[in-house]
A and B are shown apart, each in its own frame.
Chain A
Amino acid sequence: MARMIVPQYLNWSSTPITFDRDDHPDKVVAPGIYTLVVDPIIANTRLSKVLMDGGSSLDIIYLETLDLLGIERAQLQPMASCWGKRRY
């Protein structure tokens, strides 16, 4: 007897994301040269220079930025080893 496998979908997986002519800027200057820089709100502060990279499995923040955000060093937790349990 075949067992029913209930697919487990991740959140938001039903939302299609498309890019088309509407996203096209008036002019694409030197395609692929510039980086994707966004301005999310991190810890209640809008950071104007956040690089969306995607080449690595670690999100990175600079100590300098933490000072800027007024976050104490004492709040840091020890770094998990790359092969250890990863906290997402």
Chain B
Amino acid sequence: MGQIDLPVCFGTAANFRKATLTFEVVGFRGTYHAIIERPGYVKFTAIPNYTYLKLKMPMPKGVITASSTYDHAYECDIECVEYREAVESSVELASRLEALAAEDLEPKCHAGSFEPAEGTKKIPLDPNSSDDNVVTISANLDPK
């Protein structure tokens, strides 16, 4: 949708680093607030450790560690899975509704009985002949 520069700050009041990251703005929903990728790591010279779920980066007063507790990571994981399931079920629901709508329409499509509008009249195809060749037209049409 576009880009936006936002100041991002890691650390504590006593020891912190601030940098401006350019975020790509996306219009769909997700379970996180934001996702920091390679440009973010580079800006902060941050090193992740996925085993310990810790992120370290050099700071003015020594290296600082940003970490998530396993509980929080677990909560986010659950939320993510639940959201995905919700999206899947809503997609399924939509397709079922569509199928249902198509079923409803079907009898009308195959009814085959074409009912003429009210007020018809029969006029002979050839006014000069006496045979029964007639055509049915709307009553408010001129026979010619």
Determine whether the beta carbon of A13 is less than 8 Å from that of B45: yes
Chain A nearest CB: distance from B94 CB in Å? 21
Do the beta carbons of B53 and A77 come within 8 Å of each other?
no
Give a binary string over B56-100; 1 marks a CB under 8 Å from any A CB, 0 the rest. 111000010111101011101100000000000000000000000
Q: Kindly name the residue among B1, B10, B22, B65 whose own CB sees the greatest number of chain A CB atoms within 10 A.
A: B22
Which stretch (B35-43, B111-119, B120-128, B134-142) binds chain A?
B35-43
Tell yes or no: A42 within 8 A of B by CB: yes
Majority secondary structure, A binding face: loop
B121 to chain A minimum Cβ distance, whole angstroms, is 63
CB pair B3–A42 under 8 Å, yes or no, is no
Q: Out of A50, A66, A80, name the residue touching B4 (CB < 8 Å).
A: A66
Identity of the chain B residue whose Cβ is nearest the Cβ of A47 in the assembled complex: B33
Q: Is B105 an interface residue (CB 8 A)?
A: no
Structural contact, A23 and B25, CB atoms closer than 8 A:
no
A50 near B49: Cβ-Cβ < 8 Å: no
Q: Are A35 and B76 in contact (CB under 8 A)?
A: yes
- Going nearest first, the 5 A-B pairs with the smallest beta carbon separation are A76-B2, A15-B58, A34-B73, A61-B23, A41-B9
18 contacts between A and B (CB under 8 A): A29-B70, A32-B51, A34-B74, A35-B77, A36-B48, A36-B50, A37-B73, A38-B10, A40-B66, A51-B36, A54-B37, A54-B38, A56-B37, A58-B37, A59-B34, A60-B23, A68-B33, A88-B43
